[in-house]
């Protein structure tokens, strides 16, 4: 299998595993606490990233076995390491909010929340329920960028 096909298979496996790990495997406690200040938040984030990385490793191992992919240990360590560190960093929430601010994306970051100047409201004038937020969209976009980097490292190293 050539490098481009290997990269495509690795990226597809990581992308699917990311969605499963970030939405099905992550516990409600991890989701609620990973952005809190202090060690409680840091540890909740670390537990989430550990289960997320395990999910990615299992699904990538399955894809690699079925397709006969040859991946180096160093590439796997580097790829999973970069992905895990960047995922933990973004999920601390204040860090991603800071990145949105310095890149001029604060208004989009607040989209879908009561803090946004054009937030949806109910008939009573309170913030209305909706599907998703700018913060969530920026979070997932950030993770997808680093999944690409991880797939390149896993494939090329």
Domain boundary assignment for the chain: 3-156
| pLDDT, tens digit, 9 for 90 and up, residues 110-128 | 887 766 666 677 778 776 6
Q: What is the pLDDT of residues 101-112, one digit of tens each?
A: 999 999 888 887
SS (H, E, C) the chain: CCHHHHHHHHHHHHHHHHHHHHHHHCCHHHHHHCCCCHHHHHHHHHHHHHHHHHHHHHHHHHHHHHHCCCCCHHHHHHHHHHHHHHHHHHHCCHHHHHHHHHCCCHHHHCCCCCCCCCCCECCCCCECCCCCCHHHHHHHHHHHHHHHHHHHHHHHC
Over residues 48-82, the pLDDT tens digits come to 999 999 999 999 999 999 999 999 999 999 999 99
Q: What is the mean pLDDT of residues 87-113?
A: 91
Q: Which residues pair with 121 in a beta bridge?
A: 127
Q: With beta carbons less than 8 A apart as the criterion, state whether 11 and 151 touch.
A: yes
Place of tokens 């202090």: 38
pTM over 0.85: yes
Eight-class DSSP state of 110: T
- Supply φ then ψ for residue 11, to 5 degrees: -65, -45
Q: How far apart are CA 124 and CA 37, in angstroms?
A: 33
Condensed to tens digits (0 to 9), the pLDDT of residues 135-145 reads 899 999 999 99
Split at pLDDT 50, 70, 90, the class of 134 is confident
Residue 15 DSSP SS3: helix
């Amino acid at each position: 299998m050539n490098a481009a096909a290997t990269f495509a298979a690795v990226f597809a496996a990581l992308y699917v595993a990311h969605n499963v790990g970030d939405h099905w495997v992550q516990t409600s406690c991890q989701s609620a606490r990973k952005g809190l200040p202090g060690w409680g938040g840091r540890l909740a984030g670390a537990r989430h990233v550990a289960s997320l990385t395990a999910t990615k490793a299992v699904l990538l191992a399955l894809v690699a076995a079925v397709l006969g992919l040859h991946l180096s240990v160093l590439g796997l360590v580097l790829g999973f390491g970069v992905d895990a560190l960047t995922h933990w960093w973004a999920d601390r929430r204040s860090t991603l909010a800071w990145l949105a601010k310095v890149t001029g994306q604060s208004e989009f970051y607040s989209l879908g929340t009561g803090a946004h100047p054009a937030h949806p409201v109910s008939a009573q004038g309170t913030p209305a329920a909706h599907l998703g937020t700018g913060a969530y969209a920026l979070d997932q976009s950030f993770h997808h960028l680093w999944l690409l980097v991880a797939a390149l490292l896993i494939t090329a190293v």
